[in-house]
Structure 1
Amino acid sequence: MNIRLATKEDLPAVLELNAAALPHVSDVTLSDMRRFLKQADPFLIIESKEEIAGFMIVLQKGLEYDSLNYAFFCNNYSDFDYVDRIVISEKFRGQKFGTALYDHLFSTSEKKIITCEVNIKPPNPDSFAFHNMLGFNQVAEQVTGNGTKSVAMMVREK
């Protein structure tokens, strides 16, 4: 297991992993991933034997990013790391890759608050249980997509 920063060469594989994780993450284009590569701090890749097993995109407050979920945290917290998405390939789930990415973030971040959201509608009970196990607590619920989506707004204080 190896954690490193993403490169532009990783983006096609990351885009495939993201597409495989729908509807639990939002659909994005290669252009969106290029923007994340420039804006994310950090944009992490986790590998197993040089195969990309997953990724994590973390954003800081103050970016121009059209996301109601990101805006919620910007409007309610003064400083934080926002985990925009974490995706682990089906092949590597249950092997602690997600935990390793979060442990890396927890140990390297200077922020006292880590934020994310987890789908309630459509439901993502595995992600909800995973984030609870890591110490995240739901602080609000936000409805988006004209009522078709609902997310738990989650916060972990270090």
Structure 2
Amino acid sequence: MTGLILRAVAPADQPALLALNNRHDGPVNALAAAGFATLCADAFLAVGAWGEAGELLGLMVALGPEGPLHGPNHGWIRAHHPEAVYVDRIVVEPAAQGMGIGRRLYAALAAVALQEGLHRLGCEVNLDPPNPESLAFHARLGFAPAGEARDPRNGKLVRYLLAEAAPLAAAGPAHFLRSAANHPCPAAPR
């Protein structure tokens, strides 16, 4: 997608990003405003994706191998793969899916991870309730199964996935900005 703008999540962006997140409760867990603000503040990378006209198209929040623990899925990745950056959530508006936004978000994260000396990305995808679209998307990006567990908070069965960062970074934007929160943020070339 041309004209995609990726930028670090600013406090003023959080209400719109939270609304996007919570519209997709199921594939991702809904959050309260305070919880989302804390997640973004603790993030290795918290980035939103906007179209040329300023419309919100997606978001990604990833947590590093250090810092506060955010739930059992983050804990599983940290315990089993402490060198991995954990993708807590990625959401793309349904009307914008298939346009490369998710791939660009992952490419941006991978590039930042490599800059910080981190070479793997980890995430989880629901198996029960099933999320076959997300499993297929992650497989296309090179993610491979790393384990399964039931989330004690909600009973969902999840599959943990891992991917090497370098191949993902090679497919994405190479320009980066630093936000006021000191989170690296890729900016799409214009």
TM-score band w.r.t. shorter chain: over 0.9
How far residue 108 of structure 1 moved from its aligned partner, in angstroms, is 2.5
- The corresponding residue for 2:71 is 67
Unpaired segments ≥5 residues, structure 2: 166-190
Tell me what 1:35 maps to.
Answer: 38
Return closer, same or farther for 1:148/1:36 CA change in 2, 3 Å cut-off: closer
Unaligned runs of 5+ in 1: none
- 2:93 equivalent to 1:94: no
Is 1:136 the counterpart of 2:140 in the alignment? no
1:148 to 155, 158, 161: 155
Q: 2:36 & 2:61 partners in 1: Cα distance?
A: 10
Q: Give the TM-score, by structure 2 length.
A: 0.79
State which drifts further: 143-152 or 62-71. Answer: 143-152
Alignment-mate amino acid for residue 47 of structure 2 = L
The size of the alignment, in residue pairs, is 158
Provide the rounded CA distance (Å) in 1 between the counterparts of 2:40 and 2:27.
21
- The residue aligned with 1:103 is 107
Change (3 A) 1:31 1:106: same
**1:109 is paired with a residue of what secondary structure?**
helix
Alignment counterpart, residue 12 of structure 1, candidates 1, 11, 15: 15
**Contact between 2:24 and 2:30, CA under 8 Å: does it hold in 1?**
no
